[in-house]
Amino acid sequence: MPSASARPVHIAAGSPATAGCSTLAGPMTPEQILQSSGGVARTSTLLQRGAGERAIERSIDDGRILRIRRGVLALPGAPPDLVRALAAGARLTCLSAATHYGLWCVRPWSVLHVSRAGRSAEGCINHRGRSVPPHPRMPLVGLADVLVHVLQCRPPEESVPVVECALRRGATTAAFVGSRLSGSFNGVARTALASVDLTGESAIEVVARLLLRGAGLDVRPQVHIAGVGRVDFLVEGHLIVEIDGAAFHSDRQALRRDRRRNNMTVIGGYLVLRFCYEDVMFQPDDVLAMVLAALDRRPVR
């Protein structure tokens, strides 16, 4: 079973989920058509886009294309989740599609999330409802439906980073997504959507914000402090909380800048706590306990 990376993932411009079709002159080869479709497509799609039946059969005979099942073709090495979805007559959605749209995901997913009319695909979570057109080339539901499904399906620490990433990119709006979350059964999803405030600069920052605000704390994200610069969070007006990503200091100059920054926060009368991805994701109770303990030691300023 494929799984998405636990780290926030961005798909660069020109990747399958974001790029347009090839602009090469002349007809596209079957391989090029598949490449522009994420590595897998129906035979009818290749025919509609100008690949001849003989060219398709030659590519299959040469091993350049695999016949997954009748009517479904794929490149060797195509993403297994896309292959499995199309072979089941479905499209990926929820967290399974979010990674292909380049949205922030904080945990690996272990069960494939698909959208398929009728009975569910075996071993998959099926989200049947769709309200917008699907992805034009890849077997993915439309972005707005991905966001609706993830809000309905996953807890806030997983769903809110996905939605916040999409909204920060301007791919859709909270109002548009919210209009598809009517009814009492969508109350939890609407509450999660309301916690999106577009201040997170990474998935783990969003999770940390939810954790701190969920404890009833006054949390101001991305605050500029004189002599220090911008900090991730200012909690209760005097505790700075920084969330460190995966990057490490690459040179001594960067280390000196970081030390100076920390020293200036102390001179300014602030307390500082630093946490990493593993702390926030796997030991949230410990993170909160340290934050609350630090708040009990409010400095005299």
- Structural domain count of the chain: 1
* 286 inside domain: yes
* 240 inside domain: yes
- CATH number of residue 220's parent domain: 3.40.960.10
Q: Is residue 85 helix, strand or coil? A: helix
* 209 inside domain: yes
Give the domain range for residue 291. Answer: 203-295
pTM: 0.84
Cα gap 23→17, rounded to integer Å? 16
Cα gap 75→34, rounded to integer Å? 7
Cα gap 187→152, rounded to integer Å? 9
Find how far residue 113's CA is from the centre of its chain.
14
* 225 inside domain: yes
* 142 inside domain: no
* The 91-92 sheet, strands edge to edge: 91-92, 112-115, 124-126
In contact, 111 and 123? CB cutoff 8 Å:
yes
* 46 inside domain: no
Please report, in tens digits, the pLDDT of each residue of the chain (301 residues total). Answer: 444 433 333 333 334 454 444 444 568 999 999 999 999 999 999 999 999 999 999 999 999 999 999 999 999 999 999 999 999 999 999 999 999 999 999 988 889 999 998 887 788 999 999 999 999 999 999 999 999 999 999 999 999 999 999 999 999 999 999 999 999 999 999 999 999 999 999 999 999 999 999 999 999 999 999 888 899 999 999 999 999 875 544 566 766 777 777 778 877 889 999 999 999 999 999 999 999 999 987 654 4
Cα gap 295→301, rounded to integer Å? 14
Cβ neighbours of residue 93 under 8 Å, at least 6 residues apart? Answer: 113, 114, 115, 127, 140, 141, 145, 146, 149
* 70 inside domain: no
